[in-house]
Every structure is written in structure tokens, then in C-alpha cells.
A and B are shown apart, each in its own frame.
Chain A
């Protein structure tokens, strides 16, 4: 339950996701966990080039909600290290093939992450940590109020920051951490999208075409239809897609 010391406001979280068009659901390599009562949300995206990425993004998102870190660098370093340890402990010591062995040791798992903690101190707010190009869009009265991390459409496609499962890459992960925060007003909407959809939305925004209302007003059927239509028209990269929609409503939870 979110502690409330100001005007009653509740947050409603909805998750939408759709695998790449020719992939099975079991191969989906985004992950998202929303804990509405605890005011926590985590969205992660396994990197295309990674090995065993699905298990890593599951580990990250579940850990963020089960044992949320303080959102500052030293606490995040300890939290990432703990998640790495949990992932390594769950890795098989027996490899099914020589390719598994080499990929596990050489490439390993990595991905991008955005974790959000909703707060209620001096007003309602959000704090977030980001590594890479999962993006939080804070929308107010239909307009983009804030994007975190601050990105332009042209920034996608370059090498994003990554959370690595290998303890040897902890320093690179820590160096890629970004922190952000904002205040929430009633009727605000926060959208958290993995890279393909975030890129589409920012490109639309930059062309002054509607994006935020389109995403904020989706239901599950509308989400799947939108993604399929955008893929078919070539407007959206055919990639795994995750969208978390957080709506701030007036009134008690």
C-alpha cells in the first residue's frame, strides 16, 4: 500500500506486452512486474545479442519488486551484485552443448532496465533508475511532461547502457546507471515502454503527431491491434514490446 500524507490518490498499473511476430510467447525476452500496492514497477528488455537473457530480465524485475533498492548509486551497486549472484546461482553447471558453454562463458546475459518507486512524501511522486533505453514518459493533460531517461528518437539504435549478469561487468553496469524523479498530479499518466515502442512514440512526438493519448487510452485488445498495425505498416520495428501504463486517479485506493 502506498503511504499517503497528501490528498488521496491511487495509482492503477496495467501491463501490456506482445512478442515479436514470429516468436513464441516462451521466447519473449522483455519482462515487467507491477506491484501496485507497493508502488513498484520494473520493466526490462533482454538484449538481442545476449545468451539466456530471458532468465536475467526475469531475475532483475522480480528482484526489484521483492527487494527494492534505495535509488542511489552505492545501494544500486549492491542490489545489482545481489541480482547477479542470484542469477549465477541459478545457472546450470552442466552445459547441454559446447555452444551453450561458450555462449554462457563468453557472451552471457545482459539487458536494459527501468525501475520505478512511487512515493508519497511531500506530495505524490516517482523515483526511477534506468540502465539503457527503456523509457518512462510522464504525461500530463495529454502532453509530454518529462521523459526519463531524456532521449531523442535518433538516440535509439546506438549501443544502450546494459545491466550485465556477469559480476565481472558490474563496473560497466554501475557506470550506466541513471536516476530520475518527478511529481505526480491527479490525472497524470506514466508510460514505461521498451525500446521499439519508446522509439515510435518519441518519433511521433518529434513530428508533432499524437502519441501519448494513443498509448494512454489503450486496452489489451487495442494494444495488440495497434502493435500489429504498426508492424504491418513498417512504423514499428518488429521487436518484443512491453508497455506499462500507470494512471493517477483521485480518491482513496
Chain B
């Protein structure tokens, strides 16, 4: 399980849920330059770019369709002064829930001079998301929305690597219960969806504006301050192939480790996104 190689006939699907609540306007660290929303947007732009690059195999040809991608914002709408759960890609993709990576590559919001990381020089990079922050944290509705989109996807891709949903948030859920079900039930419904290679994976990143101990891939949620216990409970166990990826990246991963990083800073957010989306492409 969780070993299906990625190819054009069996693409993978990765869904990002990004918190756009008011508290995301706080800064990373006391003297941080970036808000949590800016840091999350940068990290998502980086990982979308990375997925495009992993799919770019031949000069002059578009990226291959190895990935379908969904990006949903929850909290402040990017289109109106109201709270919403909505697809977060822009332009021609703004109403689309799941988008093939070649289309993502074709429709960035802008091309900007940026650094992919602090040790790299400025270079032109596509960006797909700008930071947004306001209103509450409708995380239940976000997970429900992801589930609705993925139900059709798993039916259409029964033998693909199962979808990975990565939820990036800094706060406590404000819409539980939603339609009669609480956060754990929505997460359970989402992760009941499956392909022949395994159930949908739900991973969580809890961002912290304070300098607090970072818990990476915890195997026990009891010691985590709120809302760590809830996030631990809804995070999928890390499948063995991903455990090996995490260990190869220098993390100690205990048995029972969950796909969660608690009190993440910018660097750990980026690391988590890379490990959580590093799938084996086998399509030449």
C-alpha cells in the first residue's frame, strides 16, 4: 500500500487546504518579516512550482500530467468581504477544484523575481497565491469540500496513489459541528475514501506565531497543547514509504508517527510540504 508509482495513466492528486482566518495576519516569530499568511502562500507557491518542475521532463514540451492539484482557502474570501471555503487558484482556474498540473503551470497569477530559499539567488518564479487573512476558521467545511472533490477523483483513478490532503492552519476550528458532524467526523469521512493503493491521507501543519517547540511527525498527541490533540487525532499515520522519506531527510520517525507538524516555522512548513508530496514518478 502507498507504493503505486506515479505516471500519466495513474497521476497522483494533492489537495492543499490553507487557513485564511484573521489570525493568519500575525507574524512568524516576534520580529518576523512575514505574516503566517504570507509564509503559507510562499510555501504553497514553492511546492506548486516544485510539482511543475518534477513534471517537466522534455525541453520545449509542457509539464507532464503526473499530478492533479487542488488548492482551497478557508476563512477570508479572496473575492468578497466574507467568510468562505473556495478554490484558491486564480484567473481561469478560479472556479476549478482539481486541476491537472499542466494547466496549473500555464496559469500562474504572476511571474515575480523571488528567492526559492534564502541560499538561492533571485530568479523569476511563478506564483499562484497571494496571502489573504480575515474572519474565522471553517476547517470542517474545508475538509468537507476536499472530500466532495476527491470522491469523483478516486472513482476516476481507482489504482492511483491515494490523494494526499495537506491542511495548513494556525488556529482552532470555528465551524464544528458543521452539518451535524464535528472535525473528527469530517476527517474520518475524508479518509474513508480510498484507491486500491490505500486510503486518502490527511496531513496537518499547525503554524505558530510564537517561538515554541516544534513537534514533527509526533507519535503521541497527548503532550501537545491545544489544538494539537485534535489535529493529531485527525492526521493520518505516516505510511512506511513516507516514513522512509522522512528518515532520509534527517527526521526521527517513531512507530505510529502521524502526518503532523505542530508549531511549525517557515522552514519546517517547507520541509513538511516536500516530504508530504515526494512521490515516486515512474513514467519515462
Which A residues have a C-beta under 8 Å from some C-beta of B? 19-20, 22-23, 27-29, 46, 48-54, 92, 95-100, 102-104, 106-107, 237-240
Contact = CB atoms under 8 A, between A and B. Distances in A.
B59 interface: yes
Contacts of B123: 102
A106 B126 CA distance: 16
Contacts of A104: 59
B283 interface: yes
B53 A106 contact: yes
Contact of B56 (A48, A92, A100, A238): A100
Interface size class of B (residues with CB under 8 A): 20 to 34
A53 B54 CA distance: 13
B53 A48 contact: no
B176 to A, nearest CB: 40
**Most interface-central of B52, B54, B59, B62 (chain A CB within 10 A):** B59
Given A22-B8, A53-B57, 18 more contacts: A20-B7, A23-B283, A23-B284, A27-B284, A48-B281, A48-B283, A50-B57, A51-B59, A52-B57, A53-B284, A97-B62, A97-B105, A98-B126, A99-B63, A99-B105, A100-B56, A104-B59, A238-B282
**Most interface-central of B52, B54, B56, B126 (chain A CB within 10 A):** B56
Given A22-B7, A22-B9, A99 B284 contact: no
B58 interface: yes
B151 interface: no
Nearest to A19: B284
B59 to A, nearest CB: 5
A98 B125 contact: yes
Contacts of A49: 54, 281
Given A22-B9, A98-B124, A98-B126, A103 B282 contact: no
Contacts, number: 70
A199 B210 CA distance: 51
A interface: dominant SS: loop
Contact of A239 (B54, B105, B284): B284
Given A92-B59, A98-B124, A103 B281 contact: no
A102 B284 contact: no
B284 A46 contact: yes
B59 A52 contact: yes
B53 A102 contact: yes
B250 interface: no
B60 interface: yes
A106 B62 CA distance: 17
Nearest to B108: A98
A100 B282 contact: no
A240 B284 contact: yes
Contacts of A238: 5, 7, 282
Nearest to B61: A96
Interface string B269-284: 0000000000001111
Contacts of B61: 96
Contact of A99 (B9, B56, B283): B56
A48 B52 contact: no
A46 B61 CA distance: 17
Interface in B1-38: 5, 7-9
A-B pairs with lowest CB-CB distance, top 6 = A99-B56, A96-B60, A29-B284, A22-B9, A103-B56, A240-B284
Contacts of B222: none
A153 B120 CA distance: 39
B53 A96 contact: no
Contacts of A240: 284
Given A22-B8, A22-B9, A107-B53, A100 B284 contact: no
Contacts of A29: 284
**Most interface-central of B8, B56, B111, B284 (chain A CB within 10 A):** B284
Contacts of A48: 281-284
Contacts of A50: 57
Contacts of A27: 58, 284
Given A22-B8, A22-B9, A106-B53, A100 B283 contact: no
Nearest to A105: B123
**Most interface-central of A50, A99, A106, A238 (chain B CB within 10 A):** A99
Nearest to B50: A102
A97 B58 CA distance: 11
